[in-house]
Chains A and B, each alone.
Chain A
Amino acid sequence: MAEGLDRDDVVVLLGTPTEDASRLYAMTVTSGDPSWAGALAGVALELPVYHVTEDAVRAEIAPEDYDEHLALMTMAMDVDAIAGAVRGVREKTV
Chain B
Amino acid sequence: MLKGKKVIALGERDGIQGGAIAACARAAGAEVVLEKTYCFV
Give residues in A with beta carbon < 8 Å to B.
1-2, 5, 9-18, 21, 25, 29, 47, 50, 52-53, 56-57, 60-62, 65-66, 68-70, 73-74, 77
State which of A1, A10, A52 has its C-beta within 8 Å of the C-beta of B24.
Answer: A52
Q: How many residues of B contact A (CB 8 A)?
A: 28
Q: Which of A17, A21, A25, A60 is the most central at the interface, judged by chain B CB atoms within 10 Å of its CB?
A: A60
A-B Cβ contacts below 8 A, count: 95
Q: Which residue of B lies closest to A21 (CB)?
A: B12
**Interface hits, B1-35 → A, CB 8 Å:** 1-12, 14-18, 20-21, 23-25, 27-28, 30, 33-34
